[in-house]
Amino acid sequence: MILYSFRRCPWAMRARLALRYAGCDVQVVEVKMKEKPAELLALSPKGTVPVLDTGNGVLEESLDIMRWALDRHDPEDWRLLADPAAARQADALIARNDSAFKAQVNLYKYAERYPKYSRANYRAQAEPWLAELESLLEGRPWLLAEHPSLADAALLPLMRQFAGVEPQWFAEAAYPRLRSWLQGWLGSSLFEAVMAKP
């Protein structure tokens, strides 16, 4: 199995997390986005990452790759099979993360490209989402259970991006549980393994 990836891409990052967690034996090929290999383009003409060649088919979306990996092996129940209501909540969180929050992160991170509003304004637009996640973390270390779930892993990369735009602001903001959640991920052996430079 071959995963075409780009180390800093949030979508590739979460695909690598799930594959590593599930113990999938995958060769990771780091792609230079300005020099996309012919093998990648043959599998996926759109040329974005991640792309997983399973040997029995091609997966071109990070969430599909994550679910495929968890279907193979899910020792900590990231899929939340023991709690169907939480699993549905996970799907809803991921959908909002991948649409509304992704757009907000882009505006916030690249505020100079969108001068209609200030960076602080774009940050404020995202704060209701941060507050919602902060409330989900009340009384537990993970968003939907006492252990990580698909939602935690799927939301991590964009939250990492968001926190990195103004690190001092994030360090002092009124989201201590979210900050702890993020630091727990970033300091984990799983995250360190998938972020190791090739």
- Here the tokens at position 48 are 């974005």
Question: Do 185 and 138 belong to one domain?
Answer: yes
Structural contact between residues 30 and 7, judged by C-beta atoms closer than 8 angstroms:
yes
Does some domain include residue 62? Answer: yes
- Here the tokens at position 71 are 């279907």
Last residue of a domain, one of 44, 75, 106: 75
Q: What's the pLDDT at 123?
A: 98
Q: What's the pLDDT at 50?
A: 96
Does some domain include residue 161? Answer: yes
Q: What's the pLDDT at 37?
A: 83
Show the domain range for 14.
2-75
Nearest partner of 178 among 149, 140, 121, judged by Cα: 140
Task: Please identify every stretch of the chain with a pLDDT value under 70, giving residue numbers as ranges.
Answer: none
Tokens 């735009």 locate to 165
Structural contact between residues 14 and 62, judged by C-beta atoms closer than 8 angstroms:
yes
Question: Do 132 and 106 belong to one domain?
Answer: yes
Q: What's the pLDDT at 44?
A: 84
pLDDT in tens, 107-162: 999 999 999 999 999 999 999 999 999 999 999 999 999 999 999 999 999 999 99
Query: What's the CA angle centered on 14, arms 57 and 190, to 5 degrees?
Result: 115
Q: How many domains does the chain have?
A: 2
Does some domain include residue 196? Answer: no
Q: What's the pLDDT at 25?
A: 94
Q: What's the pLDDT at 181?
A: 98
Does some domain include residue 34? Answer: yes
Estimate to the nearest angstrom the gap between the alpha carbon of 46 and the chain centroid. Answer: 21
Q: How far is CA 36 from CA 1, 53, 62, in A?
A: 18, 16, 18
